[in-house]
């Protein structure tokens, strides 16, 4: 790990001089497209690990019992695989929520957004690679690596999102933010299709069986994420900072200025309102993403092929869906399209509550793909136009807090209601409250450029 970190730091400390002026293919790649390509790489972690392969692997191989008894502080607790998954996702989100603002302030202070991005990417890549070494009965190692990988993925996104500000002018951010999500759907979908083939037809890849295919799928995510992160580190500009600081000094500064950053955001009422609104409706979005596969497996009894295939459909539909949503936001207004996405999700929840068959799940997956990426992309670009340029990582640190808290309460509520009622269906309906509340708060948010 130490050698990997040193290698990452040497790349990230490069200002880009010689590489940028070379005549290689990356020298002709625009900064905007290099920024989008990172989404192509890191989305593989969400599609293969979080959403598709790992939930099925966890339920079928790692944790085969329908009830798990475990000890906590001398007490024996009982949980299902579904609720254990939800608790783990909530823990990861909480840890990221605590760390993200500190990292963001540190990156702004030292001008080291790309270096922090590289470290968190390294954490996520390592976690994905180590999953390939797990096997039957490794419940806690798998959940631990899931938490670690989520920290790496979400932590990296703090700095990735902040680089949108230094890379793209305000007038193009809806379009490029949506393009990033489209790249993510396409890249993540291509690797997921390859992973599905590795699991269904392992002999084509010289693998012994499906179990070995799963392990190589996790390893492929690590390689894919690492390789497609390279263009960003070479082509995307760092952006403004408060001055040069060492890595350690930047962290200390981030910790010391956390309170002042929050007060600064709190004083900007429009920004603060939007963060609250985003926290609420994104809570519902993230819970749908995180819990869909485990719900399909345990509640509907769907096969791995149906679950992974439906999620692959989400990726395919998500490409034109994200691009169309970004175009519509530019044409009709970002805030109006946010309302369209929220209303669409309310309809999705009602349909999900009633679904019973594999065909229902496939239809739901395709509908989610139309709105999921676009709603998140326009939220990101909308927020980028509300914040000061020289504090973008700090502000995106709190944006990530809003994202991560959205990843705490939804899965936690889902897990608790599932344990109390023995069914996940009421958990689905409970998410409607989050979308309705988010839309209500969004009504008070003024368009970027308006006087607060």
In whole angstroms, give the CA distance from residue 426 to residue 351: 13
Residue-level pLDDT at 16: 41
Residue-level pLDDT at 389: 67
In this predicted model, what pLDDT tens digit does every residue of 33-51 receive, in sequence order? 999 999 999 999 988 898 7
The answer on pLDDT for 14 being more than 50 is: no
Segment 275-292 shows an average pLDDT of: 83
Segment 186-206 shows an average pLDDT of: 92
In whole angstroms, give the CA distance from residue 55 to residue 369: 19
Higher pLDDT, 309 or 120: 120
Residue-level pLDDT at 408: 67
Segment 123-136 shows an average pLDDT of: 95
- Report the share of the chain in percent with pLDDT over 90: 29
The answer on pLDDT for 173 being more than 50 is: yes
The answer on pLDDT for 4 being more than 50 is: no
Residue 11: pLDDT band (50, 70, 90) is: very low
The answer on pLDDT for 205 being more than 90 is: yes
Residue 8: pLDDT band (50, 70, 90) is: very low
Segment 301-312 shows an average pLDDT of: 80
The answer on pLDDT for 377 being more than 70 is: yes
Other beta carbons less than 10 A from residue 20's beta carbon: 13
- For the ranges 105-109, 178-182, 249-253, which has the lowest average pLDDT? 249-253
The answer on pLDDT for 169 being more than 90 is: no
In this predicted model, what pLDDT tens digit does every residue of 45-71 receive, in sequence order? 988 898 788 888 887 888 766 556 556
Residue 19: pLDDT band (50, 70, 90) is: very low
C-alpha distances out from residue 304 to 56, 106, 365, Å: 7, 42, 15
Residue-level pLDDT at 60: 81
367 and 313 Cβ atoms separated by less than 8 Å:
no
- For the ranges 16-20, 116-120, 175-179, which has the lowest average pLDDT? 16-20
Residue-level pLDDT at 208: 92
In this predicted model, what pLDDT tens digit does every residue of 220-244 receive, in sequence order? 999 999 999 999 999 998 866 555 5
Residue 74: pLDDT band (50, 70, 90) is: low
- For the ranges 6-10, 126-130, 157-161, which has the lowest average pLDDT? 6-10
424 CB-near residues (< 8 Å, 6+ apart) = 82, 291, 295, 298, 299, 414, 417, 418
Domain regions of the chain by residue span: 29-442
Segment 291-302 shows an average pLDDT of: 76
Identify the DSSP state of 240: -
- For the ranges 67-81, 123-137, 160-174, 279-293, which has the lowest average pLDDT? 67-81
Tell me the DSSP string of 171-217. Answer: GGHHHHHHHHHHHHHHHHHHHHHHHHHHHH-GGGGT-SSHHHHHHHH
- For the ranges 82-86, 239-243, 424-428, 445-449, which has the lowest average pLDDT? 239-243
In this predicted model, what pLDDT tens digit does every residue of 398-440 receive, in sequence order? 776 666 665 667 777 777 777 777 767 777 887 888 899 999 9
Q: Which of 22-36, 58-72, 79-93, 176-190 has the highest mean pLDDT?
A: 176-190
Residue-level pLDDT at 62: 81
Please state the φ and ψ torsions of residue 388, each to the nearest 5 degrees: -70, 140
β-bridge mates for residue 71, sequence order: 76
Higher pLDDT, 381 or 25: 381
Higher pLDDT, 95 or 26: 95
Residue 201: pLDDT band (50, 70, 90) is: very high
The answer on pLDDT for 3 being more than 50 is: no
- Cα–Cα nearest to 232, from 175, 162, 148, 178: 162
Residue-level pLDDT at 69: 59
Please return the burial class of 142, using the count of CB atoms within 10 Å of its CB with bins 0-12, 13-18 and 19+. buried
CATH 3.10.20.30 for domain 29-442, yes or no, is: no
- Cα–Cα nearest to 222, from 140, 141, 127: 127
Tell me the DSSP string of 136-157. Answer: TT-HHHHHHHHHHHHHHHHHHH
The answer on pLDDT for 15 being more than 60 is: no
In this predicted model, what pLDDT tens digit does every residue of 310-342 receive, in sequence order? 888 888 898 898 899 989 998 999 999 999 999
Question: What's the mean per-residue pLDDT of the chain?
Answer: 80
24 CB-near residues (< 8 Å, 6+ apart) = none
Higher pLDDT, 357 or 106: 357
In whole angstroms, give the CA distance from residue 122 to residue 148: 11
pTM for this structure? 0.71
In whole angstroms, give the CA distance from residue 441 to residue 439: 6
């Amino acid at each position: 790990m130490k050698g990997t970190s040193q290698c990452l730091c040497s790349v990230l400390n490069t200002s880009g001089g010689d590489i940028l002026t070379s005549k290689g293919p990356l020298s002709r790649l625009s900064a905007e497209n290099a920024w989008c390509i990172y989404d192509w790489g890191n989305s593989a972690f969400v599609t293969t690990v979080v959403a598709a392969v790992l939930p099925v692997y966890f339920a079928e191989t790692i944790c085969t019992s329908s009830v798990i008894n475990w000890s906590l502080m001398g007490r024996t607790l009982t949980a299902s695989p579904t609720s254990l998954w939800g608790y783990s996702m909530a823990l990861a989100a909480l840890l990221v929520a605590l760390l993200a603002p500190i990292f963001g302030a540190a990156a702004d202070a030292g001008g080291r957004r790309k270096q922090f991005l590289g470290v968190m990417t390294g954490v996520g890549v390592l976690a994905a690679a180590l999953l390939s070494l797990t096997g039957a009965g490794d419940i806690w190692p798998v959940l631990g690596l899931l938490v670690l990988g989520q920290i790496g993925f979400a932590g990296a996104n703090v700095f990735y999102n902040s680089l949108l500000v230094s890379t793209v002018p305000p007038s193009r951010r809806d379009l490029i933010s949506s393009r990033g999500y489209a790249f993510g759907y396409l890249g993540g979908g291509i690797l997921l299709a390859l992973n599905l083939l590795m699991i269904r037809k392992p002999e084509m890849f010289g693998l012994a069986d499906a179990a070995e295919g799963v392990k190589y799928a996790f390893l492929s995510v690590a390689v894919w994420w690492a390789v497609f992160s390279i263009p960003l580190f070479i082509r995307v500009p760092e952006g403004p900072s408060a001055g040069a600081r060492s890595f350690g000094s930047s962290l200390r500064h981030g910790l010391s200025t956390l309170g002042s950053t929050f007060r600064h955001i709190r004083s900007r009422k429009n920004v603060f309102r939007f963060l609250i609104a985003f926290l609420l409706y994104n809570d519902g979005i993230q819970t749908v993403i995180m819990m869909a596969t485990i719900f399909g497996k345990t509640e509907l009894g769907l096969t791995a092929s149906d679950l992974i295939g439906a999620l692959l459909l989400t990726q395919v539909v998500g490409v034109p869906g994200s691009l169309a949503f970004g175009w519509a936001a530019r044409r009709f207004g970002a805030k109006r399209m946010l309302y369209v996405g929220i209303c669409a999700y309310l309809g999705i929840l009602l349909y999900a509550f009633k679904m019973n068959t594999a065909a229902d799940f496939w239809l739901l997956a395709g509908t989610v793909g139309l709105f999921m990426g676009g709603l998140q992309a326009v939220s990101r670009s909308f927020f980028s136009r509300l914040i000061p340029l020289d504090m973008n990582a700090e502000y995106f640190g709190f944006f990530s807090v809003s994202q991560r808290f959205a990843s705490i309460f939804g899965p936690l509520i889902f897990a608790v209601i599932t344990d109390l009622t023995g069914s996940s269906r009421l958990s689905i309906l409970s998410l409607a409250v989050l979308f309705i509340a988010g839309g209500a708060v969004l009504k008070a948010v003024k368009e970027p450029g308006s006087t607060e």
